[in-house]
Amino acid sequence: MACGAVTLKDAPAACLLCVETELGICLRRWLPAAGDEKQYRTCEDRRAPSQTRIRARPRRARLKRVIRISRQDRVFILTGAGISAESGIPTFRGAGGLWRKYRFEEVASPHAWQHDPRLVWEFYSIRRRVAARAKPNPGHFALAQLERTLEDRLFLCTQNVDSLHELAGSKRAVHMHGELFKSRCDRCDRGPFDDTETYDPPTEIPRCDCGGQIRPHICWFGEVPYHLERIFQALRESTVFFAIGTSGVVEPAASFVAHVRGRAPSFYVGPEEPANASAFTKCFLGKSGDLLPDLFEPR
């Protein structure tokens, strides 16, 4: 629907004539038309007698296609546990978070592996079972669709170890904290391999041909995340940055937004502000499965 007198009920989802910033954020305002409280005109209709200015605030309407991505843009997207929350995979922090039930030092650290590898495998076996049942949600599908449009102009970096980006169709997700359905030897340089098994006690820890123990292919606390060279290269090249569903407390991912500051606009998507919210150009508050399908307008 274009500009003109409309009732609030009929307010357009997106008015093509509305003022937009360079970032494509719609600054649409509505002016009540004279003599009829239910009639409103867009701010573009300069002839409308102005009374009280109000903003059109229907949530999905306001967010519809708000971030324009030009043909020159290179987009960096960082995802965290929140994007998989709507698929039934628990996050780490906050109510119901994994670190409320487990101490990460006891299940996700080199010390834990030395001290009690069976407990470590028990923890990752539980997580494998939960992740094996999970299906991608509209947030994952929106990012896969964006990748199909932007191709190698999109760099998708995830802290998540589940495979939901891949199941949604993303081909190039970079897993900086490893992958839940891969394992590797803790001794030799045999590379990570696909492994969907669960190893619950009293099962013996599986062994490599070299005699080493097979461990989850996960970056534990105290270890160096994977693919950092590629990731920082992509950050340097990026012109738009998004972080989705991550609390902004775990380094180095929490500092990625600082790397693009002053050079590329940065956006956060999640139900609450992350710890590093002040570093972002704008935070979109809501569930990623609700917001992402309408957030991008790629060219």
Residue numbers at the binding site for ligand OAD (CB under 6 A): 80-83, 85-86, 91-94, 97, 108, 159, 177, 219, 245-247, 250, 270-272, 274, 287-289
Write down the least CB distance from residue 58 to ligand OAD, Å: 20
Q: Please say which residue, 4 or 90, places its beta carbon nearer to ligand OAD.
A: 90
Closest CA to 295 of 61, 96, 63: 63
Upstream peptide bond of 252 is cis (omega within 30 degrees of 0): yes
CA count, 13 A, side-chain hemisphere, 238: 27
Q: Please say which residue, 108 or 214, places its beta carbon nearer to ligand OAD.
A: 108
For residue 78, what are the β-bridge partners? 157, 243
165 catalytic? Reply is no
Q: Please say which residue, 36 or 272, places its beta carbon nearer to ligand OAD.
A: 272
Write down the least CB distance from residue 48 to ligand OAD, Å: 39
Write down the least CB distance from residue 218 to ligand OAD, Å: 7
Q: Distance between CA atoms of 39 and 59, rounded to whole angstroms?
A: 20
Write down the least CB distance from residue 152 to ligand OAD, Å: 25
Which residue number is nearest to ligand OAD in terms of Cβ? Answer: 82
First-residue to last-residue Cα distance in the chain: 22
Q: Please say which residue, 159 or 266, places its beta carbon nearer to ligand OAD.
A: 159
Q: Please say which residue, 18 or 174, places its beta carbon nearer to ligand OAD.
A: 174
Q: Which of 165, 175, 177, 259 is catalytic?
A: 177
Write down the least CB distance from residue 30 to ligand OAD, Å: 29
**Catalytic sites, residue numbers:** 177
